[in-house]
């Protein structure tokens, strides 16, 4: 069974008197353990599509079926649960909470609190080379380091699906490569399913599957 099945998906926005078909009739099947890159020009609907897959927004019509359940028919409460349990998000601008340390940012995202949380968070940060940065505020970290914290935060609940919207977009090529190495490793070791938006030709090389968006339509 497909992990994610998208059927005849549309998202329309009204901008004044104009209607924009941000997602314009997309069908896509993503299997468990797949690594997809979504490419395409600015404004082609990539982020909108990712937000619909991640239950961050509701489509105008069509279906997003995750693990056999049509999430477009689920309540806000069910969607919140899905996001927390099964989805990990990474964004271009890291989105860390500026007043919390690296470790606290990760701890704040833990869905099921346990006694060993602090230890587990430090271990995870250590695995991405941030053992000695765990108690720093984001403002004291480089972009690459902040994105590694954001990645650990996305992974702390062991999501089956990682959704990344231009995760290397604000990084120099070396830091970007480190982030990609971590993602590839997760995809291989844990069969985590990854859907990643990128503008970078070099990043798209890492993906097994590439989908190209143009004017809300996806070509695979
Ligand atoms: N909330 C919104 N309200 C109105 N229009 C929107 C909204 N979100 C997106 N759009 C429009 O939908 C289209 C697709 O936007 P989207 O952000 O998905 O593109 P993108 O491919 O991610 O672009 P970029 O590469 O610049 O991030 C654009 O024309 C955009 O202006
Ligand atoms: Mg975008």
Q: How confident is the model at residue 123 (pLDDT cuts 50, 70, 90)?
A: very high
Ligand 1 probe mutation, 14, 44, 167, most atoms within 8 A of CB: 44
Distance between CA 24 and CA 44 in Å, rounded?
10
Range of the structural domain that residue 202 is part of: 4-219
pLDDT tens digits for range 4-19: 999 999 999 999 999 9
Domains identified in the chain, total number: 1
CA 127 / ligand 2 centre spacing (Å) = 29
Q: How confident is the model at residue 153 (pLDDT cuts 50, 70, 90)?
A: very high
Sheet strand arrangement including 87-91:
87-91, 161-165, 193-197, 35-39, 209-214, 217-219
Ligand 1 probe mutation, 19, 26, 43, most atoms within 8 A of CB: 43
pLDDT tens digits for range 165-180: 999 999 999 999 999 9
Q: Do residues 4 and 66 touch, judged by C-beta distance below 8 A?
A: yes
Q: Residue 142 maps to which CATH number? A: 3.40.50.300
pTM of the complete model: 0.93
pLDDT tens digits for range 180-195: 999 999 999 999 999 9
How many percent of the chain have pLDDT more than 70? 100
Q: How confident is the model at residue 204 (pLDDT cuts 50, 70, 90)?
A: confident
Nearest-CA residue for atom 25 of ligand 1: 42
Closest ligand 1 atom, residue 40 Cα: 21
């Amino acid at each position: 069974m497909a992990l994610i099945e998208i059927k005849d998906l549309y998202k329309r926005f009204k901008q004044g008197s104009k209607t924009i078909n941000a997602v314009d009739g997309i069908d896509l099947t993503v299997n468990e353990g797949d690594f997809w890159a979504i490419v395409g020009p600015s404004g082609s609907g990539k982020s909108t599509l990712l937000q619909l897959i991640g239950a961050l927004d509701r489509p105008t019509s069509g279906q997003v079926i995750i693990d056999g359940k049509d999430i477009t028919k689920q309540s806000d409460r069910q969607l919140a649960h899905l996001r927390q349990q099964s989805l990990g998000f990474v964004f271009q601008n890291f989105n860390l909470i500026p007043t919390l340390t690296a470790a606290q940012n990760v701890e704040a995202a833990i869905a099921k609190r346990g006694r060993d949380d602090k230890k587990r968070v430090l271990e995870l940060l250590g695995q991405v080379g941030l053992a000695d940065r765990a108690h720093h505020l984001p403002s004291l970290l480089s972009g690459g380091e902040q994105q590694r914290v954001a990645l650990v935060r996305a992974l702390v609940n062991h999501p089956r699906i990682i959704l990344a919207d231009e995760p290397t977009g604000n990084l120099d090529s070396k830091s970007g490569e480190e982030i990609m190495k971590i993602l590839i490793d997760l995809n291989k070791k844990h069969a985590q399913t990854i859907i990643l938006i990128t503008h970078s030709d070099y990043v798209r090389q890492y993906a097994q599957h590439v989908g190209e968006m143009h004017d809300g339509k996806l070509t695979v």
